[in-house]
Amino acid sequence: MFRSVSVRMRACILGWMASLAAASCAWAAGPQTVMVPMRDGVKLATDIYLPSGSGPFPAVVVRTPYGKGMGAALASVAAAHGLALVVQDTRGRFASEGANLPFEADGWNDGTADGYDTVEWVARQPWCSGKIGTWGPSALGITQLLMAGTNPPHLTCQVIIVGSPSFYKDATYPGGVFKRAMIEDWLRATRFEPQALQTWVAHSTYDDYWKSRDLSRRWSWVNVPALHIGGWYDIFTQGTLDAFMGYQHKGGPGARGKQRLVMGPWTHGVGSRTAGALTYPPNASAPPDHADDAWRWFDHYLLGKANGVGHDAPVVYYVMGDVTDPHAPGNEWRTASDWPVPSTATRYYLHEDRSVSTARPSERAAALTYTYDPKDPTPGIGGPQLTIPAGPQKQNAIEARPDVLSFTSAVLTDPLEVTGRVKAELWVRSDAPDTDFFVRLCDVYPDGTSYNVCEGQLRARFRDGFDKEHLLTPGRLYRLNVDLWSTSIIFNRGHRLRVDIASASVPGYDPNPNTGAPFRSSTDTRIAHNTIVVESSHPSCVVLPVVSHGR
């Protein structure tokens, strides 16, 4: 498991570096390795690559838990642009001193602020002009977001690729459900100290531990323009969108109105035409006009080049479509002045006959019940995953299980565009004190193959907020709001919509034992009989952001 996970992560990160390092230029000398002191005396190993010339130079700072040796692949292209490159092992990693715990010292907690201290140290060096940008995907994006929340005076711009501003909501406990495969595999593969998993398991609610590490609670501290890049099937889809909107509308004066968002049909491997079981047209690999070009961003903000950055459309996004029909609508890039784009919240109601439509149920008393057994939990495949199959995958085998409720629309006579945030409103009962509800929106092709589009989940005890736990009263009716995050897709004519509901998705998520006991406090389990109410007075539905084009 360690080998397969580490190779997959390394391929993702190195793929991004290879795509950027298209130019070749020798740097003046280097790398020079120095130990940069942090405010608490811990020293972090840092490689410095300087371009040819007398300087001083603007610098691009990369802070990584994956080993600073990755800088060699970036140094030549940085030098070609007249930029210094600074690559640092984050605290406790490889050659750096300190505790080997992910992200603990990257923000503004416990008397440490390693991102801030690094930027300001670089700015004081005689070879630096004082203008500093940051770059990186995934964990390197998270370190940037945490850094931005400390507002270093010399931080000038950022390029954040598939990052997360709220690690509780976006990564560790989305919907209050522990994302087991991704978190445990990642921690094991990267060999962080066991204390990291122990700490995250001990904080299963959105408590002060997570709140004090959540950038979405301090957008006003952010004061720089940033290029935000993400994918519709990425593990941090909603985090990328939230970061863009937070910087753009709630940031400081240096951030507001100065952001750019690029969203493609990608998993965590940004830039690939293939996502899961589907391969999109060649245009899916990159947006037009170099909208995702990090070096163009740096040229403008670090070197002052008038290259169109700042005048481009703030939002560039890919609308997915039928990959089997070259004439199908969608599978194209679009631009917008902001996010979300205008849409109409349209309720698609679930019916007792397993259909889904815009017609409100007429039945006065209607419900569907299934049995969820934690010892035989419903499997999950695809979606926002890192270490197991991700992206759009065939759901038919899972939909055939008795512990899954599937609701399918009539065949679409016209294309239907859904662009924006998708939500579900469920009326539920359970005979257990706690259980989970997973909701998945699928695109059913004419041949009957069902592919997942977006999904969400909610642990019932968190129905009133993730910072509080309220167990269920067995048999009582509750309304649950499930966040399926966001997407952009045109369901082609001849296709059908499908909504799947289950109470587990393993191995991606930790199965709920249904006992109501504190998280992982016991190995006891119980069977839950879960009911979805679909009657006129309590209509369960999904809410789709439907975009109209005057058809």
Domains in the chain (CATH in brackets) are 2-166+214-336 (3.40.50.1820), 344-547 (2.60.120.260)
Please state whether 98 falls in left (phi above 0), alpha (psi between -120 and 50) or beta: left
User: What is residue 333's predicted lDDT score, i.e. its pLDDT?
Assistant: 98
Burial annotation 296-324 (CB, 10 A radius, 16+ → b, else e): bbbbbbbeeeeeebeeeebbbbbbbbbbe
Name the residue among 63, 59, 64 with its Cα closest to residue 30: 59
Name the residue among 333, 278, 348, 325 with its Cα closest to residue 494: 325
What residues does 443 pair with on adjacent strands? Answer: 451, 497
Name the residue among 207, 268, 200 with its Cα closest to residue 13: 268
One-letter amino acid for residue 59 of the chain = A
Direct distance between the N- and C-terminal alpha carbons of the chain, in angstroms, rounded to an integer: 50
Q: How far is CA 400 from the centre of its chain?
A: 29
| Coil/strand/helix, residue 519 | coil
One-letter amino acid for residue 167 of the chain = F
DSSP string spanning 48-71? EEEESSS--EEEEEEEESS-GGGG
- The token duo for 300 is 């403008």
| Coil/strand/helix, residue 135 | strand
Q: What is the Cβ-side half-sphere exposure of residue 308, based on CA atoms within 13 angstroms?
A: 10
What span, in angstroms and rounded, lies between the C-alpha atoms of 268 and 290?
20
What span, in angstroms and rounded, lies between the C-alpha atoms of 442 and 500?
8
User: What is residue 110's predicted lDDT score, i.e. its pLDDT?
Assistant: 87
Q: Using CA of residue 101, residue 102, residue 107, residue 113, what is the dihedral sign?
A: positive
- The token duo for 367 is 């419900």
Tell me how far CA of residue 449 lies from CA of 67, 90, 280, 339, in angstroms: 42, 45, 17, 31
What residues does 418 pair with on adjacent strands? Answer: 489, 546
Specify whether the CB–CB gap between 533 and 357 falls below 8 A. Answer: no
What residues does 64 pair with on adjacent strands? Answer: 89
What pTM value is reported for the model? 0.95
What span, in angstroms and rounded, lies between the C-alpha atoms of 75 and 99?
28
Phi, psi (5° rounding) for residue 440? -130, 130
Parallel/antiparallel/unpaired status of strands 416-430 and 43-51: unpaired
For each of the chain's 551 residues, which pLDDT tens digit applies? 333 333 344 444 444 444 444 334 455 556 999 999 999 999 999 999 999 999 999 999 999 999 999 999 999 999 999 999 999 999 999 999 999 999 999 999 989 999 999 999 999 999 999 999 999 999 999 999 999 999 999 999 999 999 999 999 999 999 999 999 999 999 999 999 999 999 999 999 999 999 999 999 999 999 999 999 999 999 999 999 999 999 999 999 999 999 999 999 999 999 999 999 999 999 999 999 999 999 999 999 999 999 999 899 999 999 999 999 999 999 999 999 999 999 999 999 999 999 999 999 998 999 999 999 999 999 999 999 999 999 999 999 999 999 999 999 999 999 999 999 999 999 999 999 999 999 999 999 999 999 999 999 999 999 999 999 999 999 999 999 999 999 999 999 999 999 999 999 999 999 999 999 999 999 999 999 999 999 999 999 999 999 997 64
User: What is residue 549's predicted lDDT score, i.e. its pLDDT?
Assistant: 79
Phi, psi (5° rounding) for residue 387? -110, 0
User: What is residue 111's predicted lDDT score, i.e. its pLDDT?
Assistant: 92
Q: List all residues 6 or more positions away from 194 whose beta carbon is below 8 Å from its beta carbon.
A: none
- The token duo for 488 is 């952009």
Rg (CA), the chain: 24
Please state whether 290 falls in left (phi above 0), alpha (psi between -120 and 50) or beta: left
Q: Using CA of residue 109, residue 114, residue 117, residue 120, what is the dihedral sign?
A: negative
